[in-house]
Amino acid sequence: MISILLASYNGEKYIAEQIDSLLSQSCQDFKLYIYDDCSTDNTYSLITEYAVNHPDKIIPARNQANSGGAGQNFINMMIAHNDDYIMLCDHDDIWLPGKVEITLAKMKDMEHKFGVSTPILVHTDLRVVNEKLQTISPSFKAAMNADFKKTKLQNQIIQNTLTGCTVMYNRALSELITETPRYMIMHDWWLMLVASAFGVITDIEVQTVLYRQHSANEIGAKDVRTLRYKVNKLLSYTEIRRALNETYEQAQSFLDAYKNKLTREQIELLHAYCDIPNHVKLVRWLTICRLGVLKNGLARKLANFIFI
């Protein structure tokens, strides 16, 4: 059975379309768990109406207090729910009809190859759309200049390549997520760190989600191939420095959480990465090159070398 975990907050404008898209999936072997994060609009009423009409399919809940953001709401759900397979779902997107079926088929292939006891993560591409579902970019991967094949831990501690709403992971991976991290940037980045350290990651070159961009997006898509993006990236000193500092803190949090499970090489990698801010610029450059913790794309690499 598949558990789909949907985190909602003030999503009355879009959540009905999302739930309808789930109920229209070609594979219906799932239960939908919705945690509403104390919405102040009509979101929770809409959710409960759907649950009344689909009592065996939709299980709603409302947090006693706002968790502080989508990432925390999701990680709470991920800790609480174990199943054969887990999928994550945003309240404002639309899943294309074959998403569950396509992802599950790939997961089954991977489990046949590596065994069900191996932690496995499967993710897909997305189609980026505006509020009216008009296409902004036919491929999120292309727009972000993402390299889905860079799945090692040293790749992921510096740059997340996972969009949570595309993911499916198996029970073996879910059993590694048992406690709230001391610090994480986002839930899907944390999930990718766990998968890269202990499991197998694969992607499907198919767009399975209409990834809706609107003014209330907590995290959105940007076309990193444009000149404007590259110039703005190099000029955003404060933002880049803050983002880099967050990766050090997240890496330390990950090391603290999993030090008893990590290999010696992984521990050394994380220690060396977290120690980068304590050195002069030249040593920092040499360290990121030695460790292979380089972002994908010229603009990102330049920004990393300039502002590290």
What are the tens digits of pLDDT across the range 94-132?
A: 999 999 999 999 999 999 999 999 999 999 999 999 999
User: CA–CA separation, 241 vs 72, rounded Å?
Assistant: 23
Tell me the C-alpha distance between 57 and 52, whole Å.
Answer: 10
Is residue 87 within 8 A of residue 168, CB to CB? The reply is: yes
Burial of 110 (0-12, 13-18, 19+ CB in 10 A): buried
- Per-residue pLDDT at 110: 98
Under a CB-based contact definition with an 8 Å cutoff, are residues 47 and 8 in contact?
yes
As given in the structure block, the two tokens for residue 4 are 């789909």
In order of their start, the domains of the chain are 2-212 (3.90.550.10), 227-307 (no CATH)
Contacts by 269-272, CB closer than 8 A, 24 or more apart: 269/153, 269/154, 269/157, 270/153, 270/157
**Nearest Cα to Cα of residue 91 among 218, 252, 247:** 218
C-alpha–C-alpha distance, residues 78 and 297, integer Å: 31
124-156: pLDDT as tens digits: 999 999 999 999 999 999 999 899 999 999 999
> How many C-beta atoms surround the C-beta of residue 140 within 10 A?
21
Query: Could you give the CA distance from residue 215 to residue 173 in angstroms, rounded to a whole number?
Result: 33
DSSP conformation class of 130: -
CA neighbor of 121 nearest in space, from 190, 182, 196, 232: 196
Find the distance separating the first CA and the last CA of the chain, reported in whole Å: 45
How far is the CA of 243 from the CAs of 64, 139, 204, 239, in angstroms? 31, 25, 28, 6
Distance CA 229, CA 235 (A): 10
Give per-10-residue mean pLDDT for the chain (308 aa).
97 97 98 97 97 97 94 97 96 97 98 98 97 94 92 95 97 97 97 98 97 71 49 63 93 97 98 94 89 80 74
- Tell me how far CA of residue 78 lies from CA of 177, 190, 215, 224, in angstroms: 7, 11, 27, 30
For residue 216, what pLDDT is reported? 62
